[in-house]
A = this chain, B = another copy of it.
């Protein structure tokens, strides 16, 4: 497979670099760290990565002891999980994220990278059912501006403790509607802009029963990367 020579350096940085300087590898680790376990989860979180390359990377990472691959008990496919060594890579990713936030001309929120599917998928993984009416379904509509109409509406469906993203109205009554420019919600998600500020400036609109509006900040959690980045946002 890889006939590639190593860097020929005894310095430990080079060991990690040999692992991480292949394309997409850090992002695969990120996805796993943030909770993806299935091949299709990974594909969803890394839409621009080709399937062939993903499966190649998974094999390499397994071979390098970064992840384990086990046949899924429930049905088909495999479950991928980081090993201890794999989870230990996270501080590296964290410092990469921190560097980019402070030193990269912040075009990570430039138009071409804003992606509502990706954002919703990331949000879904961090959402908690806390503060959501139990034992009944609850629907939140996200309505994005700055996005082609066909990809501008997403429904988050809370049901039986499960959370699902729908691209079409799931039919139940909508309990809360969230309206914002895709960039606004992305910036909030990344911790660049405090939620309250966006609300106060009417750049993010919450519509629904008062209790549902107030509950929003309890179940809508920011990206793990946002923590410690910006003014705190979580409900008191």
CB contacts (< 8 Å) of A107 on chain B: these are 15
How many identical chains are in the complex?
2
Question: By the criterion CB–CB under 8 Å, are A108 and B48 in contact?
Answer: no
Contact B92 A10 (CB under 8 A): no
Judge if A1 is at the interface, Cβ distance under 8 Å: no
> A82-120 interface mask toward B, CB cutoff 8 Å, 1 = contact, 0 = none?
001100110111111111111111011100111100110
Taking a contact as CB atoms under 8 Å apart, the answer to whether A13 and B114 are in contact is no
Q: Which residues of chain B are near A42, meaning CB under 8 Å?
A: none
Q: With a CB–CB cut-off of 8 A, which chain B residues contact A8?
A: 47-48, 112-113, 115, 118
The count of residues in chain A whose C-beta lies closer than 8 Å to any C-beta of chain B is 60
**A7 at interface (Cβ–Cβ under 8 A)?**
yes
Main secondary structure of the interface of A (DSSP, over half): helix
* Pair A225/B11 contact, Cβ less than 8 Å: yes
| Pair B10/A119 contact, Cβ less than 8 Å | yes
A10-B108, A15-B108 given; 5 more Cβ-contact pairs under 8 Å: A10-B113, A12-B104, A13-B27, A21-B22, A91-B99
Q: Is A168 an interface residue (CB 8 A)?
A: no
What 8 A-B pairs have minimum CB-CB distances, sorted nearest first? A16-B96, A12-B100, A15-B100, A85-B103, A8-B48, A12-B97, A16-B100, A13-B97
Are A26 and B9 in contact (CB-based, < 8 A)? Answer: no
Residue A25 interfacial (CB < 8 Å) = yes
Chain B CB count within 10 A is highest, among A85, A103, A223, for A103
The answer to whether A103 and B118 touch (CB under 8 A), given A10-B190, A17-B26, A20-B21, is: no
Is A179 among interface residues, defined by CB-CB distance under 8 A?
no
Bound complex: CA A24 to CA B6 (Å): 10
Q: Does A186 contact B (CB under 8 A)?
A: yes
